[in-house]
A and B are shown apart, each in its own frame.
Chain A
C-alpha cells in the first residue's frame, strides 16, 4: 500500500531516490551477481527455505519489532520508518531472490517482557525469516534468549555498550569503543583538552561507556578525569551538577544523558550561562542525535559536539538520495539521526547476506554474513565483521542552531568493532 504510493510519488522510475538505490544495489551485488533482477523461478522455494520459514514462491515475510507506544516510541519511531523505507526500496528493485518482502509489525510497547513475547510470536507463529528490531539494551537482552532458542535472526540498530556477541544478532550500530575512542582522541588532539567531567544517566549504557572513556583518558592518554556522575533516568534538575562543573572547570564535559533528562540538561546549561559556542568548557556527547535536538531545541545546544557514525548532513550521493527518499515517504519536516540510519542498513545487509547464501535459512545467512559489504550505505561503505558488528567510520559533528550537525572530523579508516575491548574492562 505505502509501497505503491511511494512509487507514484516518483513519477518515472529514474526518480533520484530510486536511481541511487539501484546504483547502490548494483555496486553491492556486482561482485556476486550479474546486475539484473533475480527471478524467483531460479530459486525454487524448496531449496531456499529448508527450515519452514514464511517464504512463498513470490514473498518472504520478516518482522519489525519496535515500541510504537510507551516511553520509547519517541526514539524507535525513526527506526521503524527507516526499515519500512528500506523494505519498499528493496521491493521496488525486485525484492530478494525474486521475492517481495512483506512485514509483520509488532509493538514492544516499551515493556521488555512484551518484547520477548512478541519476538516469540514472530518466530514461532509467523516463522519470519528475520527481524528488524529493538532499541534499548534492556529490550535486546529480553529477546536474546528467544532468538537463540528459536534460531531467529535479529538486526539491532542502536549504538550500545558492547560486551555482547550473539550468533543470532547483527549489530548495525556502533559498540562503545567505536563511538568513544576516536572522539576523545579528536578533542585532545584538536582542542588540547586535558581535563574531563563525565556525566550520564544512571543505567548500563552510560556507565559502561564512561568506564571505557575514563580508562582511555587516564590510562591511554594520561589525562585527568575531574568528576564522574550519574543521575536517575528522567531526572530534570541539573542546577547542582552545573555548579559543580563550574567549580571543577573541566576542559570537556562528556555527557551521556538520555531521554527527557536530555532536554532539561541542555536547557538548564544554556540558562546557567554556559555558552557552548565558546567551547569553555567544550561539550562532547554520544547521546544526542538530530532526533533528540528536535526536543532540546537547536538554540539550546548550538556549539556542542557529538560523536556518531552518521549525521544527516553527510555530503555523499548515497546520503543525499537517502535523506530525499526518507522525506518523500515520511514528510519534509523529518530529521534523521544516527540510529535511524543504522536501522535502514538492516534490511539491506540481510538482503546481501541472503543473496550471497542463495538461501533464507538462518544458518546459511549467518554463515554468509561476515564480510558482507554495503557500498550504498548512507554513512558510506560498511562491512560486517566476524563478530557480527559493523566496520564503520567515527565522526564528530558540531551542533548548529537549525538542529543539524556540521561534520568537523571523520576517521580516515573504518574503525574495527571491538565489543570486548581489552584493557578497558
Chain B
C-alpha cells in the first residue's frame, strides 16, 4: 500500500499522523480531566459532563459576539477571556448542582447516574430554548485558523497546537492543585477516608462542592476550546460523553496519571488504526481492545490503594 509514494511523502505523512495522534490525545485529556476529578475523587458518575462542556462553548459564543459587536479591535484576543469566563460559569453551575442535588446522593452512587442523566436532558432543553435548536457558529480569530508549515510537506494545524498547549497547561494546573496545595491535600484526604478527614477538622461538604465545581469548570474550558474543532449545539455534549468515560474508566477511575496514560494509549491506537483501516473499524477495534484489557484488569491501568 505504500508503493505509490516516495520516501519523503511517507515521512511527511507519518509525521503529520503523529501530530494527529497527539492532537487527539490532547482533546481526550481536556475532555477527561474534569470527569476524572469528579468521578475519580468523588465517585460521582456525572452524565451531564458533556452539557457542562457545552455551557463553556456557549459562553465562548456569547463572548465572541460581544467582542465582534462592541470591541472588534480586541477580537483576536477574546478567546482567552472566553475560556476564563467558561471556567467560572461552568464551575458555578457545578457548585449549584452539587448543593441542590449531588450532595443528597453521595451514599447512593447509582442514583447520581440517573439524576445527572436527567440533569443533562434538562440542560439540553434549556440550551435549546435559550439558543435555539440549531447549531451556532463561533467565529474563531484568524490567527488560530490555518496551519504551520514545518517543511514543504509537513503541516500542523494551529488550533491543534493550541489545544495541545492548553491540555498541558490545565494538566499542570490540576496537578499542582491536587498534589501541591493544601486544598488538594484535603480533597485527597476526603477521598481516602471521609469520616477521618471530617474528624480532623476538614469541612468535607465544602471540599466536595469545590471539587465538583472545579471538575465542571475544567469541562467548561474544554468546551470553550472545542468550539475550534467541533460543533456547538444543544446536544453536542453527547458527542463527547462516551469517549470521556472510556478514557477515565480505562485509566483507572481514581488516578489522574492513569487518565493521561489512558488518553495517550487510546488516542494513539485510534489514530494509527484510523489511518490503516476505515473510521468505523478503527473505533470498533479500539473499543474491543479496551474491553479486553478491562476484563483482565477491571480496576483500569492505574489504581489507587484505598482503605475500604
Chain A residues packing against B (C-beta within 8 Å): 68-71, 73-74, 77, 202, 228-232, 234-237, 239-244, 246-247, 259-264, 267-268, 270-273, 291-292, 294-299
| A243–B20 CB distance below 8 A | yes
- Sorted nearest first, the 3 A-B pairs with minimum C-beta distance are A295-B135, A263-B231, A239-B20
Cα–Cα, bound, A292→B135 (Å)? 8
Chain B residue numbers with a CB within 8 Å of A259 are 231
Chain A residue numbers with a CB within 8 Å of B24 are 237, 239
Known: A231-B280, A240-B274, A246-B13. A272 touches B157 (CB 8 A): yes
Residue of A nearest to B281 (CB): A230
Q: List 19 A-B contacts (CB under 8 A).
A: A70-B235, A73-B128, A74-B233, A77-B134, A235-B279, A236-B240, A237-B229, A239-B24, A240-B279, A243-B16, A246-B13, A260-B230, A260-B235, A271-B158, A273-B146, A292-B135, A294-B137, A295-B232, A298-B137
| A267–B135 CB distance below 8 A | no
Chain B residue numbers with a CB within 8 Å of A263 are 135, 230-232
B231 interface neighbour in A230, A242, A247, A295, Cβ under 8 Å:
A295
Most buried by A among B125, B135, B238: B135
Chain B residue numbers with a CB within 8 Å of A298 are 137
Instruction: Please tell me if B193 contacts chain A, counting CB pairs below 8 Å.
Output: no
| B17–A268 CB distance below 8 A | no
| B139–A297 CB distance below 8 A | yes
Chain B residue numbers with a CB within 8 Å of A73 are 128, 133, 234
Cβ-Cβ contact count across A and B, 8 Å cutoff: 137
| B233–A260 CB distance below 8 A | yes
Chain B residue numbers with a CB within 8 Å of A268 are 157, 229
| A273–B280 CB distance below 8 A | no
Chain B residue numbers with a CB within 8 Å of A244 are 275
Known: A262-B231, A264-B229, A267-B228. A243 touches B275 (CB 8 A): yes
Cα–Cα, bound, A70→B158 (Å)? 33
| A202–B279 CB distance below 8 A | yes
Known: A260-B239, A271-B145, A272-B157. A74 touches B134 (CB 8 A): yes
Smallest distance from the beta carbon of B43 to chain A beta carbons, Å?
A: 27
Smallest distance from the beta carbon of A91 to chain B beta carbons, Å?
A: 26
| B231–A270 CB distance below 8 A | no
Chain A residue numbers with a CB within 8 Å of B283 are 232, 235
Chain A residue numbers with a CB within 8 Å of B233 are 74, 260, 295
| A202–B280 CB distance below 8 A | yes
Known: A239-B24, A240-B275, A295-B135. A271 touches B235 (CB 8 A): no
Smallest distance from the beta carbon of A290 to chain B beta carbons, Å?
A: 11
| B147–A267 CB distance below 8 A | no
Residue of A nearest to B15 (CB): A243
Give 6 new A-B contacts, CB below 8 A, not counting A77-B132, A231-B279, A264-B230: A71-B235, A234-B238, A236-B27, A260-B239, A291-B134, A295-B136
Smallest distance from the beta carbon of B7 to chain A beta carbons, Å?
A: 13
| B13–A260 CB distance below 8 A | no
Known: A71-B238, A270-B145, A273-B147. A243 touches B17 (CB 8 A): yes
A-contact 0/1 string along B152-171, CB 8 Å cutoff = 00010111100000000000
Known: A202-B279, A231-B279, A243-B275. A295 touches B134 (CB 8 A): yes
B27 interface neighbour in A74, A237, A260, Cβ under 8 Å:
A237
Residue of B nearest to A78 (CB): B134
A-contact 0/1 string along B1-41, CB 8 Å cutoff = 00001000100010011011001100100000000000000
Smallest distance from the beta carbon of A117 to chain B beta carbons, Å?
A: 19
Cα–Cα, bound, A235→B231 (Å)? 11
Chain B residue numbers with a CB within 8 Å of A202 are 279-280
Known: A73-B133, A74-B135. A230 touches B146 (CB 8 A): no
Smallest distance from the beta carbon of A305 to chain B beta carbons, Å?
A: 20
Residue of A nearest to B237 (CB): A260
| A239–B9 CB distance below 8 A | no
Smallest distance from the beta carbon of B3 to chain A beta carbons, Å?
A: 13
| B231–A271 CB distance below 8 A | no
Smallest distance from the beta carbon of A335 to chain B beta carbons, Å?
A: 9
| B230–A236 CB distance below 8 A | yes
